[in-house]
Structure formats: structure tokens, C-alpha cells
Structure 1
Amino acid sequence: MMLENFSFSGIIVALMCMALLLSKKKNSSSDYYLIIWLLVCTANLVYYLFPAFLPEQFQSFGFALPVLSTGMLYLYVISITFNIPFHPNYLIRHSVFFIVYSCIFIGISTFYSRIGFKNSIPYFMDSHSNEILDFLTFPMAAVPVVYIVLCFLALRKYQKMLPEYYSALERINLNWLKYIMVSLIILFIGVFFMIALGTKTDLIPRGRIFQTVAAVQSGYLLCIVFFSLRQSIVFNQQGTLDINIVTDKEEKVNIQTQKHSDESAQKLLEFMQKERPYLDEELSLQKLSLLMEVSTHQLSQTINQGLNTNFYRFVNAYRIEEVRKKLRDPEFEKYSILGIAFESGFNSKSTFNKIFKEETGMTPSEFKKSESAKK
């Protein structure tokens, strides 16, 4: 009963989240993909709790819902990372396997041997080798894992690109989603072995397999809903991520036609010294380019090629220098080190400590002690 109650809570949370997203005045593409994913998850949980509601000849569609769910999750991931637009073509493209896979079950059941479903687990109603059924159910473990790996790769690519565009990464690095993806791979492999053990041995009662899966899925759903809504607020505050990937061919042409001179780098350094834009904790490449009235591409080339660094390290080096100046200044003796860090443009204690150690070779407290000893 406890498993069923937890699964019900997942359904309720999903429905409330969908209602909340639909009530927004303006939704982003990632909001719509999240709504679709929540809808599929809700249908999946309902099927696990009430499989008898679906006619037996269409049970394969309920059984294959995890495949569709991971496809929609992948669309959500690439929309929140690379800002792909919401388009029906994407939904159709990533629903094809789900439809074809379900229809194959129906075709085999109609023309070969009738496939029945008991506790959401397929079986041949006539005596046939289970090897065929194992072959048919294998995609239920393989395809979701492939989608989750694709999600993981998209996240890794996104995180590698962030330092080129942002000076603060903690709120937008999506580490929480990466951890969920890794654990989901383990989950789907575990579910496959649970089904295999449940159908071939008595170690796991058949009636409890998908009830357990539903409860675990509800837990993942609650986590993703919480972090997704929080991430949506952060993205709305900082502006939609719009990372434009330049192809190798375009990049080569741009390098040949737009070489940054020492003058561009000098202009940037003078602007940073005079205007101190690094004090803005949410400074991005786009913000800085608007302040300097240059294109983001030109500014990026100046930093990457002219100064041989990336935007993240370039801006935070100024923040560290600002902290060092204030730690030496008697006027800031009453300030805490963390307070000085926040005054200098940092918005995270862990990031400040990490970057300070990398730049100076010592912790902030060690630096402060060494400066006090000099006095």
C-alpha cells in the first residue's frame, strides 16, 4: 500500500506542476517539453497502478511508455541546454520508436502467437520459447539507456561551453540533472534484470515489480520537478541561455577574416580596469559585449585568442584581484572574507575558495594571515 501511495503522490505532483506551468503568461520551449514529459510520466504511473484500464490488445503501448518518456526527457534536456525550439516535428521524431515498437507487439500477438500481459509484464499465452520475448523486451532497457546517455553527452557538452559565456556557473551548470541521468541508467538496467528475475524465478513477486518501479519513478519525478522549476526561475532571472555553436568551417573563415589586434585586447583591459563590470555577479559575455558595444563573437575572439583565456577565468581573475586589494585595505578589516568576496562579484563561497586557491596558491584565510603578518 505504501508503494501505491508514493506513486499517487508522483501523479499529483506531476499534474500540479503541469497546471503551474500552463498558468504562466509566457512559457519557454523547455517549459513545453517539460509539460509533455510530465504528461507521459503521469500516463506511465497510471498504467503501472491500473494496467487493467488499458485493453489487453493495447497493453504494449503502456508497457513501452518508458521509451517514450526518456525520448521526451531528452528533448527537455536539449531544450534547456541549447534552447531548441518547441516543434511538433521533434515530438513525432522521438515518438516513432515507441509507436513502431508497440505495433510490433500487436503484430506478433495477431499473426504469430497471442501475447498477454500480467501485472504489466508480457508473456506468450501459448507455449513458446521465452528467448523470443527476451529479445522483444530488451529494447525496453537498451533504448532508454541510449537516450539517457545522449542526455548526459548533451549536458557535458553544455557544461564545457559555459565558461566561454558566463562568469558564474553554479546556478546554471545543471549538475543536478547530470546526477539524475547517471542514476537513471542504473535504474533502467536494474528494471531489466528485475523483469528477467521476476519472470524466470520467484525471487521477485511479479505483482510487485512495476509497483516498485512506479514508486522509484515517482521519486525521480519529484526531484526533476523540484529542480526544473527552480532552474526555470534562475533562467528567467538571467535570461534564456542562447549558446550559438559555430561550425568548424565558419570558425576557420572567421579566424582568417577577423584577426583581433593588440588594440582590441588593450581596449578590453582598459574597460575592465575603468568600469569594473566584473562586480556584477551575473556578468555574461553578452552583457559585456553590450556594455562595450562590440559583437559577442569579436569579444570572444579577443578573450580566447588575444588574451589566451576564456570568459570565466578572465572575469574571475579580476574579482580575485579585487578581493586581494580589499583584504589589504584597512577600511575592510571589519568585513568577513566571504562578505568581501560577495562585494567583489562572487555569488558562491565554494567557487570563490576554489578560484582563489587556483589564482594565488593559498586559501583566502591563509592570504589574509600572510598580509597581516607583513604589517
Structure 2
Amino acid sequence: MDIILIIGSILSFILAIFLLFKKKNNSSSDKVLAFWLFIFTLDFLRSYMLFFKGYMFLLGFGYTLPLLYAPLLYFYIALIIDNRNGFKIRFLWHLIPFVLANIYMYFYIYLKPAEWRITFFEDTSFSSRPILFNFILFIVVLVYPAYIMLIFRLLINHVQKIKKIYSCRDQIDLYWVNYLLVSVSVLWIVSLYSKFVSGYFNSLHYSNATMTIYFFELLIIMIIGYFGFKQGMVLIGLPGTEKDVSGISKYKTSGLNSNDAKSFLPLLLKYMETNKPYLNSQLSISDLAKQLKIPSNHLSQIINEQIGKNFFEFINSYRVEEVKLQISGNKEKRFTLLAIAFDSGFNSKSSFNSIFKKQTGLTPKEYMKGQAA
């Protein structure tokens, strides 16, 4: 099992170095991720020296690390989504539990000799330990599910925002973060299970059962390292990102009244039919607004109020109709469905299939078969 700790420490260190010095245009999110990986490096090394080299003075130093790992992961995802102002001071509030826990641990655990710590971690029971120590244990157990929910909420808000601005989500919807959240959830479940099985919560001894946790940590490092190196910023200085306010007051300060929006609608629809801007797979609301020579927030208001759709739905409805038109003219099947999709403005098979089925109730293949019958 020591090989997992060795590989984990080497891999996390190399990935951190690459993020800091090899990735072009590294950002605040890259620096946070690199720091996160460095902490993993130190923890893997600490565990290796503790478990396999017998350096018992290291016992207890990794106890509160989940209180640091979870907020750092949250900072990283938040900075990917919006890095316009860099690292935000308010993020530091998330580190208060980690700081307070370590202040307590410093006086109660870290200053004690190794022999005392061995006795404490191996021979004490849950009922005999201080209430504050058990409270920290409780917080450590709950921190991952709490931050998973926070990150999930960030992703939901992110998807809703990009639908108002972009016509294609494939490069910016952070789908890979779902894999990461699943991995972290599995890590939490495995960690909880292994600690119950090993009797960790009653007697805080370290056993081989807890080594399973490091395997999943290594998996998380591989996922976040690979995608983190590829990932860029996705919401830097986005135009037309007015605050979401429900109700009529949403566009109260836009400068465009409903009558003007209604009068502009025919011009928008005519432009869409004549110029087919939706064929550009990377079309954004600012691109279309420039072509129409109106502010992007005015265009957003027209689409939302007069058509009842967001920008993503509006543009892709034209793309679906374009696909249907090309399918009807492709009786001899000279072009594949994917070629037709790309010609119609889609830029990936997955988004094409999901959007087409959502709008028509049929998969593209089912629709094509129906047209051929």
C-alpha cells in the first residue's frame, strides 16, 4: 500500500509544478489548485513517513486537513467560473473552521510528545475524549457533503448564466466537475465506511483499512490534475450578465421599454432567417448584438420577454430547424447526421443529440428514419 502514497506524493507535486510554471496564462484558480495539490503532496509524504517509517511525531497532523481541502476545492471552482476580480477576501471566511480547529489541536495535540499522542489516538474511546475534540471530528465528517452541495449550487447557477449568453456550452459548462464531485462523494463514503469498520471513531488508531482512502484521493488528483491543466476561465468579463431578478423588474433599468422591444422583434427574426448567424457554433449574445447594432442587454430582454426563451434556447431552436431542413433535402443520404449537425451550427455530437431530442421529442436518428419512411 505504500506505493499509493509514493505515487500520490510524486504525482500531486508534478501537477502542481506544471500548473504554476508550464501552463500558459495561469490564473488565480490555477494557483489555488497548485496549492491544493501541494497540500496533498505533504499529506501523502506525512502518511508515508508515519505508516511505513514509524515517525510517530507526525501523528495527528493530518486530522483537520478536510477542513482545508473542501474550501480550497470550492475556491477553485468558484474562480474558474468567475475570475474577474481574482481571489476574493470573502473566501477566507471559509477557512475559519480550519484555523480554529488547528489552534485547538496545537495546544491539545501538537505540543504533546509522540508517546502521549500514541496513547490518545489508540487507547482512548469516544466517550472519554474532550467534547470539543469530538465536535471537530463531527465537523470534519460533514465538511465534504456540505461543500459538495455548495459547489453543485455554483454549477447550477453557472449553467443558467451561460444559457443567457452563449449558444454552445460544450467548452464552458464544466461537465468534468461532475466527475470530480462524484469522486469526492465516493471518497467521503469510503472514508466514513472504512473508519466505522476499523473502529476509528471509537479508537482513533490508524489501520490499513484507512489506506483505501488514499487510493480515492489519488484518483481525485488524477481527475482534477488532468482537467485542471486543460481548463481555462469561462466567465471573464461577460457582456450582458445583468443580475437575475425575478419578475417584471428584471429589465427595469435596461433603457428599453416593452413596446420598443416588441417593435424590434420582427427585425431580429428577419435577420435570423436571412443571415443565419446561428450557423456560427461559437455565437454569443454579444456577437449577435454587435451584428444587430444594439446593446447585448437589450437583445437579451427582447429574446426573454418577447419570445419567452433564453439565448441558448433561442439560437439552438434555429439550429434544430436547420438540421430538419437539411435532413429533408438529404434523401440520398450523401451526408451523415453529424456532418449535418456541424453544418447547422452544433459543435459536438452530445449537445446536438440532447438539444434535438429535447426540442422534437425524438433522437436525430429517429427523426431521420421517420422522414425516410
Q: Count how many residue pairs are aligned between Structure 1 and Structure 2.
A: 366
**Secondary structure, counterpart of 1:74 in structure 2:** helix
- Percent of aligned pairs sharing the same letter: 27
- Look up the match of 1:30: 29
Cα distance in 2 for partners of 1:195, 1:156 equals 32
TM-score, normalised with respect to structure 2: 0.83
Aligned counterpart, 1:42: 41
Paired letter, 1:146: A
Tell me whether 1:254 sits opposite 2:221 in the alignment.
Answer: no
| Aligned-partner Cα distance in 2 for 1:96–1:215 | 28
The one of 3, 8, 24 aligned to 1:10: 8
Shift in Å at residue 336 of structure 1?
1.3
Aligned to 1:336: 336
Q: Partner amino acid for 2:26?
A: N
User: CA 1:8–1:259 in 2, change beyond 3 Å: closer, same or farther?
Assistant: farther
Which is worse superposed, 110-119 or 338-347? 110-119
Q: Distance in 2 between matches of 1:136 and 1:369?
A: 61
Q: Give the Å deviation of 1:61.
A: 4.2
Q: Which amino acid aligns with 2:251?
A: N
The 10-residue stretch of structure 1 (328-337 or 208-217) with the greater mean CA deviation from structure 2: 328-337
Letter in 1 for 2:96: V
Conserved 8 A contact 1:78-1:84: no
User: Which runs of structure 2 are paired with 1:89-100 in the superposition (5 Å)?
Assistant: 89-90=89-90, 92-100=92-100
Match of 2:43, SS state, is: helix
Matches of 2:190 and 2:46 in 1, distance apart?
A: 20
Give the C-alpha shift of residue 270 in structure 1.
Answer: 2.1
- Kept in 1, the 8 Å contact 2:83–2:235? The answer is no
Query: 1:166, 1:284 within 8 Å by CA — same for their partners in 2?
Result: yes
Deviations 1:86-123 (A, max 9, x none): 3373564333321210111233349999995459x945
Distance in 1, matches of 2:108 and 2:244, equals 45
Q: 1:309 to 1:110 in 2, by over 3 A?
A: closer
278-287 or 47-56, which deviates more: 47-56
Change (3 A) 1:221 1:145: same
Is 1:20 aligned to 2:18, yes or no? Answer: yes
Whichever residue aligns with residue 218 of structure 1, its letter is L
* Cα gap change, 1:271 to 1:134, in 2 (>3 Å): same
1:56-99 CA distances to partner (integer Å, 9 max, x unpaired)? 78754432122101111010011112336333735643333212
Question: 1:163·1:310 contact (CA, 8 Å) conserved in 2?
Answer: yes
Say yes or no: does 1:175 pair with 2:175.
yes
After TM superposition, give the deviation of residue 146 of structure 1 in Å. 1.6
List gaps (5 residues or longer) in structure 2. Answer: none
Gaps of 5+ in 1: none
Indicate whether 1:79 and 2:79 are aligned.
Answer: yes
Per the TM alignment, residue 288 of structure 1 is displaced from its structure 2 partner at its CA by: 2.1
Map Cα deviations across residues 152-183 of structure 1 (whole Å, 9 max, x no partner).
Answer: 22112222333222222233222331243244
1:271 aligns with 2:271: yes
Instruction: Give the secondary structure class of the aligned counterpart of 1:62.
Output: coil
Secondary structure of 1:138's partner? helix
Deviation digits for residues 5-60 of structure 1 (CA, Å, limit 9, x no counterpart): 23322222222222222223422232222222222222222222224899978754
Partner of 2:141: 141
Instruction: Provide, for residues 173-200 of structure 1, a one-character-per-residue CA deviation record: whole Å limited to 9, x for no partner.
Output: 2233124324423422442443344246
The answer on whether the counterparts of 2:124 and 2:203 sit within 8 Å (CA) in structure 1 is no
The one-letter amino acid paired with 1:43 is L
Determine the C-alpha separation between the residues in 1 that align with 2:229 and 2:126.
Answer: 50
Name the Cα RMSD after superposition. 3.8
> 3-state SS of the aligned residue for 1:304?
helix
CA contact (8 A) 2:121 2:204 kept: no
Mapped partners of 1:135, 1:146: distance in 2: 16
Q: Deviations over 1:263-285 (max 9, x none)?
A: 22222222222221111112222
The separation in 1 between residues aligned to 2:200 and 2:12, in whole angstroms, is 34
C-alpha contact 1:14 1:42 (8 A) present in aligned 2: yes
For 2:309, what is the secondary structure of its paired residue? coil
Q: CA deviation at 1:340?
A: 0.9
Matched letter for residue 6 of structure 1: I
In structure 2, the partner of 1:212 is 212
| Counterpart Cα distance in 2 of 1:114 and 1:331 | 79
TM-score (norm 1): 0.82
The residue aligned with 1:326 is 326
